[in-house]
Amino acid sequence: MKIDHVSVGGTDLKRLEGSFSKSGMKTEYGGPHSGGVTEMSLLGFNDGSYIELISTVKPGAESSIWKRHIEGDGGPCAWAIGVEDITREVSRAKELGIPATGPTDYSRKRPDGVSVDWQLAFIGEQETGAVLPFLIKDITPREFRVKPSPSVADGLLRGVGTVVIGVKNLDDPTRLFRGLYGWPEPEVRRDTWDGVELASFNGTPVVLAAPTGTGWLEQRLEKFGESPCAFLIDTVDLEAAAVRHPLDRREGWFGGAGLRWVTPLREDGMKIGLVSR
């Protein structure tokens, strides 16, 4: 499984763009979506993954997706994986008793007038891409949808490698992921973040995070429900990346990796960090 892209929601797209620019990760405007309610900017990486910044075209407009995250400046809100046979994946989920809908055609028009077309399918009972990923398949060439952004095209930042999903408990989503994808039992750690236990499925981009008491994650779950609470970008050299990007102090991570949060993004309420493997 490889992350296609992750989504970050907020009330003001310009503000989100500004936070990423201050972080040395300047995004590029991608245009409005076909429904005309939301618009996006993106940060494309060399491995093909990207971060999508999404907000409503008109301030205060009501989005049909990620409403709470957009209206509440929730930041990380969803994740997607690319699939070759989207219809087969929907059928497979249904056979396992997991709700699934689609595929459905979507599009947006880039600022240069080029139309970008793709299909989406949605699996699971939660909101789109909140726990289980939503599925995407390109209709137009993928390079129409995303290319490496100049601000990160040198390859120091490889791409979005991990989605950390905030959940109420580890047991139910662990069974869900293992049942759908056949993954092994996860490695569980309780000494990484205060008040949080983490479960990492080795060899996958998924880490589950559940609160062990009152704290930031429990508050986030109350406000936004089960959904991504952090995104981690893989880097080839964490210390070299700290020269290019303002980062917090180094923390430990799974497999002996180092993790440093991107300071301007954290200060704006978004847990997005860099990880060295």
Q: What is the maximum alpha-carbon separation in the chain?
A: 50
* Per-residue pLDDT at 154: 85
Give, in order, the Cα–Cα distances in Å from 212 to each of 73, 232, 251. 24, 22, 20
For the cut 80, the answer to whether the pLDDT of residue 34 exceeds it is no
Say whether 257 sits in a helix, a strand or coil: coil
Q: Which domains does the chain have, with CATH numbers?
A: 3-145 (3.10.180.10), 150-276 (3.10.180.10)
Q: Which tokens sit at 39?
A: 């618009």
- Mean pLDDT value across the chain: 93
Strands 134-138 and 115-123, sheet pairing? antiparallel
Share of the chain above pLDDT 70, in %: 100
* Per-residue pLDDT at 7: 97
Give 95's pLDDT tier (boundaries 50, 70, 90): very high
Q: How many CA atoms lie within 13 A of 131 on its CB side?
A: 26
* pLDDT tens-place string over residues 219-241: 999 999 999 999 999 999 999 99
* Per-residue pLDDT at 108: 84
Is residue 186 reached through a cis peptide bond, with omega within 30 degrees of 0 on the bond before it? no
For the cut 80, the answer to whether the pLDDT of residue 36 exceeds it is no
Q: How many residues does the chain have?
A: 277
CB atoms within 10 A of CB 172: 13
Interval 238-246 mean pLDDT:
94
User: Full-prediction pTM beyond 0.85?
Assistant: yes
Sheet holding 196-200, edge to edge: 187-189, 196-200, 206-211, 157-166, 227-235, 272-276, 258-261, 251-252
Share of the chain above pLDDT 90, in %: 81
Give the dihedral sign, CA 197/201/202/204: negative
Give 111's pLDDT tier (boundaries 50, 70, 90): confident
* pLDDT tens-place string over residues 164-193: 999 999 999 999 999 999 999 999 999 888
